[in-house]
Structure 1
């Protein structure tokens, strides 16, 4: 049976659809906020630990079928810790051949719940290689970064143009796992409100240990952008836990790294919303991506990550030392990428 809070959220969502007006509710007891706006992308999230526990938006009137799926998610997951993102379902509604990823939760050593998404080839069995673990970057979580499909690749498999990274990996017989770091995607914020590089490295360790306990040993670790720095530090610290390393668009430019070693104790993290403009700024080379693909990325990115994550202790990224990596490594970067350097 749904709780009173869940019923209120559904009522607000329905009322917003009918009235076409934005609604906002604050639950003082848990410091949870609920918003429903017919002018923005939809996302549902409830987290016990985040300061703002409920965040619901939608971009257009929802169909009856979609609304029923949202209700089912709330009933299945429970109002206290709803982690299924409605936008993830919407992302795959019209994604052609894309398969909706499975989800599992990994409990860290400090009892934080991390969301891990995964897709496996039909022929794969538990423990059968190859397996990879994907790490997203600083701003956007796993679904928009690793599992965004634009358009519909031919069903005969003659082309995979527009397919997501996870779907491409699965098409090559590789099981793909992707973790949402703290405060991003379907993983709630840390109890402190902050996310730090060293903490993220230990969270990756917990995910890899979780997989190892289930027979999935020494995956390939793939990191993108700031996630590549996290992956590199992990490889330096725990080389025996992975088989190889891929650094994709790694941030490696000393001129752009400005660590701020100020303490986080007692500091309240800022509350800043992501915007479509900030999503578009990720495409730093004009004309590199067509407008349809850029809009698709922006829509799903805002749906998955409506609020900016609060990163702290940037100086911990300076632990990344390419010369200290002994794991077999592939480095991938663009010749016009201003955030990396051939010196890597």
Structure 2
């Protein structure tokens, strides 16, 4: 990449992913940017996520032959070129007109797995077509309280080639988000980010008229179906009954919840506080990670998200026991900057940073990392 300077070629926008939020604001409607970048309450959890990474420092080792590096790994049967997945980010059409279709094409270009949100601006089938037949993709479920709709959505995802189900636990209702409240901005009530349920035959069967003809009625059916309904541990067998692939629970922060997930036969968990968007004043995801990993051992795969911005961040999460990390806002900001090419730029920048930092810290593969790779609490 440095050789691009020979002919004066510049990147399309910054390669410093920590700066992307500020510049993405210039490319987005104020309400849309507030929705994407905003956090719950005072933003304390959002800030804590980044502060936690600062408290853990890589300790480079020398003369260990880290050339010939290999970032590839396999998680829950999915082979990936690096331990990085595109996190489920909803309503991407408020970021760029192509939304999830651009993101799907970018994921295919890099080979990284994409996790599609239930709150997609495009249908399951449209995103799968854009993503391509042989590319790895997982599906994130906001669990509706209508069983017929839930089963129908899961069937569609499976038929479209989504192999792993990621069930978000922490967003059974929306948090207190001042940036959205102050601007009276919520895309869903305008029918944005509802393409998956609104295109679902089981959902449409409960409407007198299709959403294309009577949007408000569809929205009023959608709201109570997808929000305000908490779930309990004894309901997890329903998902296992209707999904024959791996199931991952997203939003786990307490060791006891991690143990219960393992006891329930789940295949993985994501240690996540939803990027600080749900509980103000919550523990940083990185601070929760070590105790969760210790609690479950090798009973299930532990993944991580919330606050990841750099290759060093990825390495720190891996060193503390995560099998892979999910990255959300950075690629969404890339989408705002340049659609598909913007997402590709962000992902390739992150992967290059990850590869260089892995080698310069004295490691050849992600499996070489351990808590001993870090000095923590500084």
User: Shorter-normalised TM-score: what interval?
Assistant: under 0.3
Q: Which has the higher contact order (CA 8 A, sep 6+)?
A: 2
TM-score (norm 1): 0.27
TM-score (norm 2): 0.25
Q: Which has the higher helix share?
A: 2
